[in-house]
């Protein structure tokens, strides 16, 4: 299923260096594809991945890259690479809606560090990408600006919350995109759309300029077509940022260089808890095939127990909603975005603004989080969940004493139909079973495509690694990827 | 240390309204029963955390706490406390729904 519209970063680099194309032409080609197949009003597929295009900024950057290419300058890692940015990250002068009506019209006067780093490395910023409102959702159906269609199956969801980020890469609208992951929001849509999604270790990539959802969980990372592209983008993003106190000053590894090392001898853990009831049999078979392939290239396979896995979803939905209820209190109609008209008092203005501005899922999570933090319930819910979070993290720390990576399914089911779960939040939350544990533990993870169901729906395998072991995770990811195409 | 049980929790419509008030949310009459239903479904599911004995387990608020020995998380390198330019006020105030250019304007807080 090769598609000539899908380019890797290496191909962009080669084409620009040889003069086969220009960054300007490349940007225009991607904008033309977006015009044809993205807008819901277009006669094409109507994917709806982009919420806003930053044409002037993109073409200005492309022109700079083209001048450098003509002069024969050494081009930076992402020179001329068309990228899209999830709309929860600030991009100077462009909208930043977070998929919410409450931020309608808001244009931040600064760039998120991750956005600035991409541009400094030569990337061409095409625009802002659709997502679930405030990154809360697993299907992108919670966006106030319409659902996104899965480019691999137009009647299906692209996953969420970075649904636009995954769909734009899968559809060939963008070579790479930035997503954010709080409980699976990069990895799950990557799996659903048949592309690569990387969750960096907590602290590896700056969150400055990210509209906060749950601060102890939120992370920024790339969605790409290939594992090598994910490594290249991470090399640009990773590192200490003075503007984010939670970013780590640990030296950044050579992620691309690490891919050349063989995976022979790496110890791969397979957690029984990730293969139990509720796992789609075709996904199970695909992931077992990956494990056999890894064994075939010299990895050793070890059963491992992550005993608290079944408590990950309830733990996550207490902690994430509690933090969200606090973070989202800043949206009150005073400093930015929407303000409800005709409020006589300040408190009425807050309430009306938040009622008009927030969608149902965001309200549900704010209520749940507020409840979990309220007097009389704090110990029973929030504190309890923080304790279980410690147990879940210990599971991983213990397992990684003897293992290099842990491999399992990314999602229990293939992408589901648009509208299928919108009226049942519990059913939606249960789909996060394999993604939230890595989020809670702060470890890194990668979703790599590993085939399709008999109906042609993408399947993703998840590779988890210990804190700051992105090099190892990417190395194993590259081996998995090579095994699929050979 | 006593562990409060959450198994029996059943949120009433009044409690939904009380929590909404705490959260500065105004719910419409149609939203209340739906939120009540959803909160009870999710809280009922969360109650399974009670199966675990967490006596003596430290509460984990941040990833770094579990890796105390790991300086990568320890925030050892705080940035220098130095004056630096911040975002221009005019650019910030331009985003406000109502402002006089120096202050955010809001409805009257105190009647006199």
- Looking at residue A402, its pLDDT comes to 97
pTM as predicted = 0.96
Secondary structure percentages of chain A, helix, strand, coil, to 5: 40, 15, 45
Of A313, A363, A379, the CB nearest to B4: A379
Weakly modelled stretches of chain A, pLDDT under 50: 1-2
* Cα A226-A232-A236 angle, rounded to 5 deg: 145
Q: Indicate the class that CATH gives domain A9-266+405-485.
A: alpha beta
Best A93, A337, A362, A380 member to test B by mutation, with max B CBs in 10 Å, is A380
- Looking at residue B79, its pLDDT comes to 73
Going by C-beta distance under 8 Å and a sequence separation of 6 or more, which residues neighbour residue A400? A406, A443, A465, A466, A469
Which residues of chain B make contact with A355, given a CB cutoff of 8 A? 25-28
Q: Is B85 an interface residue toward A (CB < 8 Å)?
A: no
Side-chain half-sphere exposure of A127, counting CA atoms within 13 A: 22
- Select from A471, A352, A350 the least CA-distant residue to A404: A471
Of B15, B57, B79, the CB nearest to A391: B57
Which residues of chain A make contact with B40, given a CB cutoff of 8 A? none
Q: What value does the CA radius of gyration of chain A take, rounded to a whole number of Å?
A: 21
Which residues of chain B make contact with A386, given a CB cutoff of 8 A? 59-61
Options A100, A114, A185, A247, the catalytic residue: A185
Structure tokens at B65: 């706490």
Say yes or no for a CB contact (<8 Å) between A397 and B22.
no
The shortest C-alpha distance from A430 to chain B (Å) reads 10
Percentage with pLDDT > 90 across chain B = 60
Side-chain half-sphere exposure of A411, counting CA atoms within 13 A: 33
Q: What is the 3-state secondary structure (H, E, C) of B32-91?
A: HHHHHHHHHHHHHHHHHHHHCCCCCCCCCCCHHHHHCCCHHHCCCCCCCCCCCCCCCHHH
What residue of A is the nearest CA neighbor of B36? A364
Options A49, A86, A100, A447, the catalytic residue: A86
Residue B2 has pLDDT above 60, yes or no: no
Say yes or no for a CB contact (<8 Å) between A351 and B58.
no
Say yes or no for a CB contact (<8 Å) between A387 and B60.
yes
Which residues of chain B make contact with A358, given a CB cutoff of 8 A? 25
What residue of A is the nearest CA neighbor of B93? A335
Residues constituting chain B: 112
Q: Is B79 an interface residue toward A (CB < 8 Å)?
A: yes
The shortest C-alpha distance from B35 to chain A (Å) reads 6
Neighbours of B32 (CB within 10 A): 15
Of A108, A339, A351, the CB nearest to B25: A351
pLDDT tens digits along A468-478:
999 999 999 99
Say how far apart CA A457 and CA A452 lie, in whole Å.
5
- Looking at residue A190, its pLDDT comes to 98
Say how far apart CA B43 and CA A348 lie, in whole Å.
29
Q: Is B84 an interface residue toward A (CB < 8 Å)?
A: no
- Looking at residue B1, its pLDDT comes to 36
What residue of B is the nearest CA neighbor of A313? B46
Neighbours of A406 (CB within 10 A): 27
Calculate the alpha carbon distances from A373 to A38, A186, A389, B20 in Å. 41, 28, 16, 13
Which residues of chain B make contact with A444, given a CB cutoff of 8 A? none
Pairing of strands A176-181, A219-224: antiparallel
Say how far apart CA B31 and CA A159 lie, in whole Å.
26
The shortest C-alpha distance from A92 to chain B (Å) reads 11
- Looking at residue A343, its pLDDT comes to 86
The domain locations on chain A are 9-266+405-485, 310-384
Q: Is A185 among the residues known to form the active site? A: yes
DSSP string spanning A195-215? SEEEEPPTTTB--TTB--S-T
Local confidence band at B62 (pLDDT 50, 70, 90 cut-offs): confident
Structure tokens at A192: 């659903």
Options A94, A161, A174, A447, the catalytic residue: A161
Say how far apart CA A118 and CA A220 lie, in whole Å.
12
The shortest C-alpha distance from A80 to chain B (Å) reads 28
Say yes or no for a CB contact (<8 Å) between B42 and A335.
no
* A458-465, strands of its sheet edge to edge: A50-53, A124-129, A82-86, A176-181, A219-224, A196-199, A444-452, A458-465, A405-409, A267-271, A300-304
pLDDT tens digits along A191-210:
999 999 999 999 999 999 99
- Looking at residue B71, its pLDDT comes to 57
Q: Is A235 among the residues known to form the active site? A: no
Of A107, A314, A347, the CB nearest to B45: A314
Going by C-beta distance under 8 Å and a sequence separation of 6 or more, which residues neighbour residue A141? A132, A147, A157, A160, A418, A419, A422
Structure tokens at B90: 């005019």
Which residues of chain A make contact with B48, given a CB cutoff of 8 A? 310-311, 314
The shortest C-alpha distance from A246 to chain B (Å) reads 7
* Cα B109-B111-B112 angle, rounded to 5 deg: 140
DSSP state of A382: I
Residue B76 has pLDDT above 60, yes or no: no
Instruction: Identify the residue whose tokens are 């396979």.
Output: A301
Which residues of chain B make contact with A331, given a CB cutoff of 8 A? none
DSSP string spanning A52-77? EE-HHHHHHHHHHHHHHHHHTPPPPT
- Looking at residue A5, its pLDDT comes to 79
Q: Is B103 an interface residue toward A (CB < 8 Å)?
A: no
The helix (run of H) or strand (run of E) holding residue A50 is: strand A50-53
Question: What integer is the mean pLDDT of B34-47?
Answer: 95
The shortest C-alpha distance from B91 to chain A (Å) reads 6
* A223-259 as b/e: b if 16+ CB within 10 A: bbbbbbbbbbbbbbbbbbbbebebbbbbebbebbebb
Which residues of chain A make contact with B76, given a CB cutoff of 8 A? 249
Q: Is A104 among the residues known to form the active site? A: no
- Looking at residue A398, its pLDDT comes to 96
3-state secondary structure of A348: helix
Structure tokens at A64: 């700079």
């Amino acid at each position: 299923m090769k598609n000539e519209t899908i380019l890797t970063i290496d191909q962009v680099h080669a084409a620009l260096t040889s003069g086969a194309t220009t960054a300007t032409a490349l940007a225009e080609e991607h904008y033309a594809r977006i015009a044809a197949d993205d807008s819901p009003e277009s006669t094409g597929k109507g994917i709806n991945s982009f919420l806003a295009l930053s044409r002037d900024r993109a073409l200005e950057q492309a022109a700079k890259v083209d001048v450098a290419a003509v002069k024969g300058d050494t081009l930076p890692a992402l020179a001329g690479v068309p990228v899209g940015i999830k709309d929860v990250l600030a991009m100077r002068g462009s909208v930043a809606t977070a998929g919410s009506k409450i931020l309608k019209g808001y244009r931040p006067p600064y760039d998120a560090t991750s956005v600035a780093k991409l541009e400094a490395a030569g990337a061409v910023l095409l625009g802002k990408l659709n997502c679930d409102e405030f990154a809360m959702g697993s299907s992108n159906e919670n966006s106030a600006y319409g659902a996104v269609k899965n480019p691999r199956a137009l009647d299906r969801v692209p996953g969420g919350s970075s649904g636009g980020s995954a769909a734009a890469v899968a559809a060939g609208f963008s070579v790479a995109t930035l997503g954010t992951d709080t409980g699976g929001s990069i990895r799950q849509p990557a799996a659903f759309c048949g592309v690569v999604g990387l969750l960096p270790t907590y602290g590896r990539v700056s969150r400055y300029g990210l509209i906060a959802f749950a601060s102890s969980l939120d992370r920024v990372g790339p969605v790409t077509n290939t594992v090598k592209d994910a490594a290249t983008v991470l090399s640009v993003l990773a590192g200490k940022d003075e503007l984010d106190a939670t970013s780590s000053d640990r030296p950044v590894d050579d992620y691309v260089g690490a891919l050349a090392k063989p995976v022979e001898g790496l110890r791969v853990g397979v957690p029984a808890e990730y293969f139990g009831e509720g796992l789609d049999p075709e996904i199970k078979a695909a992931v077992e095939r990956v494990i056999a392939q890894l064994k075939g290239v010299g990895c050793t396979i070890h059963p491992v127990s992550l005993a608290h896995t079944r408590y990950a979803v309830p733990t996550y939905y207490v902690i994430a909603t509690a933090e969200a209820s606090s973070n989202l209190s800043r949206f009150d109609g005073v400093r930015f975005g929407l303000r409800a008209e005709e409020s006589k008092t300040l408190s009425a203005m807050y309430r009306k603004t938040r009622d008009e501005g927030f969608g149902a899922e965001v309200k549900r999570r704010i209520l749940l989080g507020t409840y979990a933090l309220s007097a009389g319930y704090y110990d029973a819910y929030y504190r309890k969940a923080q304790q279980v979070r410690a147990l879940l993290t210990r599971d991983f720390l213990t397992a990684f004493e003897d293992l290099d990576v842990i491999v399992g399914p990314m999602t229990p089911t293939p992408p589901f139909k648009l509208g299928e779960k919108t009226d049942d939040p519990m059913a939606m939350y249960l789909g996060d079973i394999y993604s939230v544990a890595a989020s809670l533990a702060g470890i890194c993870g990668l979703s790599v495509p590993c085939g399709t169901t008999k109906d042609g729906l993408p399947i993703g395998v998840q590779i988890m690694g210990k804190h700051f072991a992105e090099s190892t995770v990417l190395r194993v990811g590259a081996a998995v990827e090579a095994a699929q195409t050979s | 240390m006593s562990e409060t049980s959450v198994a029996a929790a059943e949120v009433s419509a009044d409690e939904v309204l009380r929590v909404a008030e705490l959260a500065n949310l105004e719910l419409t009459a149609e939203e209340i029963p739906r939120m009540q239903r959803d909160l009870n479904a999710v809280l009922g599911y969360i109650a399974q955390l009670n199966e675990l004995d967490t006596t003596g387990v430290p509460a984990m608020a941040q990833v770094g706490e579990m890796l105390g020995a790991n300086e990568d998380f320890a925030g050892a390198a705080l940035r220098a406390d130095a004056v630096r330019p911040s975002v221009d006020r005019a650019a910030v105030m331009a985003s406000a729904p109502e402002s006089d250019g120096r202050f955010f304007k809001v409805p009257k807080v105190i009647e006199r």
